[in-house]
Chains A and B, each alone.
Chain A
Amino acid sequence: MFIASDDIFHKVWILAKTLNPMENEHQFNELQTVRLKVNGEQHELLLLPWVSLLDALREHLDLTGTKKGCDHGQCGACTVLCDGKRILSCLTLAVLKEGAEITTIEGVVRGNQLHPLQQAFIDHDAFQCGYCTPGQICSAIGLFKEGKAKTREDVKELMSGNLCRCGANIGIIDAIMEVKDGGMYE
């Protein structure tokens, strides 16, 4: 699994603190300024401290390409790239990502030109409903960068944090392998 464990602990810690009314009665719902750099653009947001990066992207920046499938780090639909690493934005608090370079599916496309992986997804019919697709693509770009996956079996294993209920699994792995073998990812 590629869950960034520090994010989970921070989230739990902050939730525990904010949800304890004895300790923190008037602070949990106070807005604070959060600066996020997403797809190369700086944003200044007024957020509750417990807003996840996923909800910040979707509800505050209207970047709805990143999907919520479980909100518990179990399905991978919310995967985005943070300083080049794939992370689960539902398990990440937005306030923790100040100063980071965040790339969402909206930032993967190069101008009008699809990323080779995006084109490969279309060519291999690597989706049906399309809901898990942004997470699959971001996750695969992160996978390329990690450089750990050597074989098809490696790719299958290391992509298994991204679920697809339509059963487009073979198309997804075919698309990733085509781009990986072609060295087209960077």
Chain B
Amino acid sequence: MELNLSSKKKQWVFAYAMLLPYVVVYTIVKIYPFFYSLVLTFFKWDIIQDPVFIGFKNYAKLLTDEKFWMSMRNILHFTALTAVPAILLGLITALIISSDIRGKGIWRVIFFLPYIFSVSVVSLLWLLMYGPKYGLFNMLFVKMGLPPVEWLTTVNMAFFSVSIATLWWGLGFNFLIYLAALQQIPKDFYEAASIDGARWYHRIWYLTIPLLKRTTLTVAILQLIASLKSFGQIYLITGKGAPGGKSKVILHYIYEKGFLELKMGYAQTAAFIFFLMVFAVSLIQLKISQSVEDK
């Protein structure tokens, strides 16, 4: 069949045809559920019986729901504890591997290995170490004559303990991205700097870090979103938000409202407000990255 199209048009048709399968799947599994859940924020729905339209009641209630705001504050607390250290650790470990250190292969495995574990494995591992009486840390502390530490029984300590576990677990990802970026920096830059008399810390500060700017922006966006979306390890290590549910984070709150209390519309409302927050953060970062690239 001969289609009377210009070659440019043909290219467009071909391109769209190639995109179609992805667009269809993406629409079904992402776009449609997103708008459907947005509609549900105006309903009261227990999944089993028919939804009941209640207007803006879910929003009104959510704004005064202390538990919702507590879980929002908690995730910001957790993000503050994990995001920047995770980026720094990724960079430092990548710098170590790129240096002339011996046994690079072993170090690479040590830094990357935890990343392949599943959330339950990681949580169980750290739970065994954080146990109040028979945990590894406290048993060591007591052996050394130190008082045992209450790793998970206050909100601040619980977030500190879970953050350590999370940093250890997630290190591999940022490490890998930085390592790849470091390998793209031409060696001549460093040689030239050395000839000019730059010490190693000068080279890192004046060469490496500025050259990694774009990578750092990418890592920062991904890390911030990852931290904000944390749920599994916090849920498992604190044992559903110990002490007394005070360390629940926003995704835990949404999960509980939706799947345990079967208040789907309300859970969707919380999820939507959280989405707006993450979206705003991403937009700000995008703006920053654009202005950086413009320079």
A and B part of one assembly: no
